[in-house]
Amino acid sequence: MAENSVAVKTAGRTCGDFPEGKRVWLIGCKGMLGTELARLFERRGVPFTGTDREIDITNPAALASFTEQEAAAGRPIGWIVNCAAYTAVDRAEDDVEFCRRLNVDGAANIALAARNAGARLIHFSTDYVFDGRGIRDAASGGEPRPYREDDTTGPIGVYGLTKRDGENAVVENSPRSYIIRTAWLYGLYGNNFVATMLRLMNERDEIKVVNDQRGSPTWAFDLAALALEIIRADLQNRPPAYGIYHYTNEGNITWYDFARQIYDTGRGLGLVTKECAVKHCTSAEYPARVTRPAYSVLDKTKIKAALGVAIPSWDMSLRQYLKALGKERERT
């Protein structure tokens, strides 16, 4: 898709009974998650319009104009899925104004556009809205327990703060919204931890990965499938309650554990073609501008109860991703 174009897809109505003429507006359609969603919508016959930087989300007039143009063209917006965000965690500390414009003002403007268009909104957020220290209570036996949706937030960097404020802006401006917090996202269409590990493992004889940060990897395909399931549930008159939900793949590990599995599975599938020693280290050995969460495991009880979904384990999804990556490389 060209840099300044609008992708209008007119797919068949195979995703439930999509209201006549209604469609999904996919914002941020060229990013890792947005691209995954666009491909999934195309395969499942979901009518959607995909936009990226050609529609300025920091300009409420531009968003309002687009929804009006779509309606005038016989393509009224029934759903908005927002994948646009500023995600450079360290750079955000020096780029505060622009990060806030995208993650807070942009989120608020999209939510307002959804409300004015009578559309439902899916907005993605992050584990960084928490401080990453974990919550310990009597029931957890002194160990940190997974964060629940109603736990108090406490972001410790600009990125997390703007994502938390963006959540609040969405709730304030569009009550018919779903906010999906996720963590450790990776996928086929963009830079991510798995792709970086594969590259380094094929270049080096040894790598070190931190072993004191714990979380749950999330395959972008699984997260995209969840967004589609929310839309399908609404079309089938069984919509979950609006609000905040957590979604990652099942299980929790450290980055070192993740890297070890990437190496083992990648080696077996031929994506890692040489021996590479994967060793562990502490976060203190690789200091970053922003302290990464030591514990960012998210509780998914609420989303499983709301939709009845079975969430794949992180290692199973990693294997499926690596198989898909191998096929993608064979085609190119």
Q: Tell me the per-residue pLDDT of 167-200, one tens digit each, with 9 for 90 and over.
A: 999 999 999 999 999 999 999 998 999 999 999 9
Task: Kindly tell me if the per-residue pLDDT of 17 is higher than 70.
Answer: no
Contact (CB, 8 A) for 216 and 249? yes
Residue 50 bridge partners (DSSP): 7, 26
Phi then psi for residue 96, to 5 deg, are -60, -45
Neighbours of 278 (CB within 10 A): 19
Output the six-digit token pair for 143. Answer: 């160990």
Q: Give the per-residue pLDDT at 8.
A: 47
Percent of the chain at pLDDT above 90? 87
pTM for the full predicted model: 0.94
Task: Kindly tell me if the per-residue pLDDT of 5 is higher than 70.
Answer: no
The SS3 of residue 189 is coil
| Rounded mean pLDDT, 40-58 | 96
Beta strand 120-126 with 77-82 is: parallel
Contact (CB, 8 A) for 46 and 10? no
> Of 179, 182, 127, 183, which Cα lies nearest the Cα of 155?
127
Q: Which of 86, 159, 186, 256 is catalytic?
A: 159
* Sequence-separated (6 or more) residues with CB below 8 Å from residue 100: 158, 162, 165
| Rounded mean pLDDT, 295-318 | 97
The predicted-structure confidence for 89-137, as pLDDT tens digits, reads as follows 999 999 999 999 999 999 999 999 999 999 999 999 999 999 999 998 8
| Rounded mean pLDDT, 205-225 | 98
The SS3 of residue 160 is helix
For CA atoms 61, 10, 8, 178, give the dihedral sign: positive
CATH 3.30.800.10 fits 7-191+217-251+296-312, yes or no: no
Contact (CB, 8 A) for 187 and 158? no
Q: Give the per-residue pLDDT at 142.
A: 80
Written as one letter, the residue type at 193 is F
Write down the residue that tokens 């004015």 correspond to.
116
For the question of residue 159 being annotated catalytic, the response is yes
**d(Cα 124, Cα 33) in Å, to the nearest integer?**
10
The predicted-structure confidence for 228-244, as pLDDT tens digits, reads as follows 999 999 999 999 999 99
Written as one letter, the residue type at 267 is R
| Rounded mean pLDDT, 134-154 | 90
Rounded to 5°, the CA angle 189-190-191 comes to 145
DSSP for 84-138, please give it.
Answer: -----TTGGGT-HHHHHIIIIIIHHHHHHHHHHHT-EEEEEEEGGGS-SS-B--G
Q: If you compute the radius of gyration of the chain from its CA atoms, what whole number of angstroms results?
A: 20
Q: Give the per-residue pLDDT at 83.
A: 98
